[in-house]
Chains A and B, each alone.
Chain A
Amino acid sequence: MTDDRGTAPDRQARAGARAAAPATKAVEEAAGQEAVLEYAGIGKTFPGADRTVVALDQVTLAVRRREFVSLVGPSGCGKTTLLRITNGLETADEGTLALEGKTLSGGSQDMAYVFQDINLLPWRSVVKNVELGLEARGLPKAERRERAMEMLQMVGLTQVANAAPYTLSGGMQQRVGVARALAVRPKVLLMDEPFGQLDNFTRETLQVEIAELWAALGTTIVFVTHDVDEAIFLSDRIVLFQPDPGRLTEVIDVDLPRPRTGYDVRAHQRAIELRAHIVSRLGVGTGAAR
């Protein structure tokens, strides 16, 4: 999948494409990559009492079909805001967002979101939580149950289908969160620091699982994280953000072979270089990130 993408497209070209939205599409198509999600000049400002926060300033980005893109940056850089705008949980002040060429306003049934604080509905059983999005789409009961169980099987949780969500561990709850989002068969899956609240061991397990699910299902994933290693392990491309104002500063190709395992990635020379580059660009340790 990554291999036939060949050499990384010229970074300069992409930087140029970012400046002009229509050009982005041309560049992606020239490279034989269909853009599924296109951001053009997205801007978002949060007016505050003491100061106005520019959460996003002129963000232009094209996400390709079946791609795994991570948005990485320090807190306050607007990466979560961009993800929320994508699914209509916030509205952009400027710019346009298009899914498969159609301009969106206020979310789309073709996308689903995985939240950091998972928020499974405690009054519903696990399987009923997974069914919620299918109820919104008017699927008949039997079909809902069948598809929800299928999703639970995919995340290895069929045995707790009828349990109450609060009886599950954090890692299991987030698996349900993923199953809930995937059940609606989204074209694009948006994940907002989904493993941020989990312990290290669980996080690494889930990273491997999500990589496998992504490879198996061919869903496009936009993933927000501030964990550089996580981003390198999972992504085809990493998009770097900087705060004040929140802006896109660089798009990095993660040209590591797949499938990747946690150990290989960290020992891989190229991964080490990528990591060093990202960390220096984020200004970690120089105080710029704060």
Chain B
Amino acid sequence: MSAVATRRADAPPRRVPLADRRATGIIAPLIAAAVILGAWEITGLFVNRVLISSPQGAVSSLYDMIRQGTINGALSISVRELYLGLAIGLAGGIVLGVAIGRYALLDSIFSPFVNAANATPLNVLIPLLILWVGISAEARVLFVVLISFFPVLLNTAAGLRNVSRGYVEVGQMLGLSEWQLLRKVILPGTVPYIFAGIRLGSALGVIGMIVGEMEVSNVGVGYLLNFYGEGFQTGNLLALVFISALIGVVNVMVVRTVQKRWFRWIDAAR
């Protein structure tokens, strides 16, 4: 009885109720955004508007582009190429990563090339890609594939080698076959690393998409960036920056949601 009373007295009073905390989580960034936008608007009073436009200018440019259908067309092409490229690049990276992480022979054969390729700024390949497949959607998809492939591959391979020895020993102790061990213990244990690779690869994929379109196309968000840049249309450019950022943010949110929904243990068990 007294123990209960003591514990209750010792418990720290909960000063900030949950609801308040949630409000802070929304209000603080909102205030920050307001300050930044305000500063931007004020800077426009002293600096040439052509260079920095204004929040209002950017928003109205965005609205115009949406209304005219410019952005929708470009975005649908870009996004389609991006996700096709990511699907191939990420899946290929995971598969080859498993192979390399699993088999020392494959590792010694491929690792030098993989590491060299990963260290190379891959846009040097763009002229070659154009040579091989022309200025086409294929070239851009291929570039997204290339740029998203290596981080997933390396993360997956590293993950396979770093799966907790304790988990593996549990599998061995229970008499799992090599194949069962891979499927039931090692691969699930690699999932956190694969997710890290996917996050990295999909972020690079967005860069690949934009760079590919700036270099190799007359369509898509990247091409529009070139187009408005040449025309000094800063408001439109900023709107496109916002759109590109949005694609990246959506990717992160999708990956995070998948992880939270189906792989809750990754955060909870560590």
Q: Known contacts A109-B175, A115-B173; can you find 17 more A-B pairs with CB under 8 A?
A: A88-B172, A89-B173, A112-B174, A113-B169, A113-B173, A115-B170, A117-B166, A121-B167, A122-B268, A123-B265, A132-B184, A135-B176, A136-B176, A164-B264, A164-B269, A166-B265, A166-B269
Query: For residue B191, which residues in chain A have a CB less than 8 angstroms away from its CB?
Result: 123
Ranked nearest first, the 3 interchain pairs of A and B with the lowest CB-CB distance are: A122-B269, A133-B174, A119-B166
Query: For residue B228, which residues in chain A have a CB less than 8 angstroms away from its CB?
Result: none
Interface members, chain B 158-209 (any A CB < 8 Å): 164, 166-167, 169-177, 180, 184-185, 188-189, 191
Question: Is B263 engaged at the interface, CB distance under 8 Å to the other chain?
Answer: yes
Query: For residue B166, which residues in chain A have a CB less than 8 angstroms away from its CB?
Result: 115, 117, 119
Question: Is A184 engaged at the interface, CB distance under 8 Å to the other chain?
Answer: yes
The answer to whether A135 touches B167, judged by C-beta atoms less than 8 angstroms apart, is: no
Q: A165's closest neighbor in chain B, by CB?
A: B269
The answer to whether B263 touches A132, judged by C-beta atoms less than 8 angstroms apart, is: no
Query: For residue B171, which residues in chain A have a CB less than 8 angstroms away from its CB?
Result: 132
Known: A119-B164, A121-B185. A184 touches B174 (CB 8 A): yes
CA distance A109 to B167 in the complex (A): 18
CA distance A84 to B247 in the complex (A): 52
Query: For residue A107, which residues in chain B have a CB less than 8 angstroms away from its CB?
Result: 172-173, 175
Query: For residue A133, which residues in chain B have a CB less than 8 angstroms away from its CB?
Result: 174-175
Q: Quick one: which of A107, A112, A132, A181 has the most chain B CB within 10 A?
A: A132
Task: State the majority secondary structure of interface residues on A.
Answer: loop
Query: For residue A87, which residues in chain B have a CB less than 8 angstroms away from its CB?
Result: 173
Count the A-B residue pairs with Cβ separation under 8 angstroms: how many? 65
Q: Quick one: which of A87, A117, A136 has the most chain B CB within 10 A?
A: A136
Question: Is A25 engaged at the interface, CB distance under 8 Å to the other chain?
Answer: no
Query: For residue B172, which residues in chain A have a CB less than 8 angstroms away from its CB?
Result: 88-89, 107
- Which of B167, B174, B264 contacts A136, CB < 8 Å? B174
The answer to whether B188 touches A123, judged by C-beta atoms less than 8 angstroms apart, is: yes
B-binding residues in A (CB < 8 A): 87-89, 107, 109, 112-113, 115, 117, 119, 121-123, 132-133, 135-137, 164-167, 180-181, 184
Tell me the minimal C-beta distance from B267 to chain A in angstroms. Answer: 10
- Which of A113, A132, A166, A180 contacts B176, CB < 8 Å? A132
The answer to whether B269 touches A184, judged by C-beta atoms less than 8 angstroms apart, is: no
CA distance A64 to B185 in the complex (A): 34
The answer to whether B268 touches A135, judged by C-beta atoms less than 8 angstroms apart, is: no
- Which of B169, B177, B188 contacts A119, CB < 8 Å? B169
13 contacts between A and B (CB under 8 A): A88-B172, A107-B172, A113-B173, A121-B188, A122-B269, A135-B180, A135-B184, A136-B180, A164-B268, A165-B269, A180-B170, A184-B174, A184-B175
Query: For residue B184, which residues in chain A have a CB less than 8 angstroms away from its CB?
Result: 132, 135
CA distance A109 to B268 in the complex (A): 32
- Which of B164, B174, B177 contacts A132, CB < 8 Å? B174
Q: Quick one: which of A117, A123, A132, A180 has the most chain B CB within 10 A?
A: A123
CA distance A87 to B184 in the complex (A): 20
CA distance A137 to B177 in the complex (A): 10
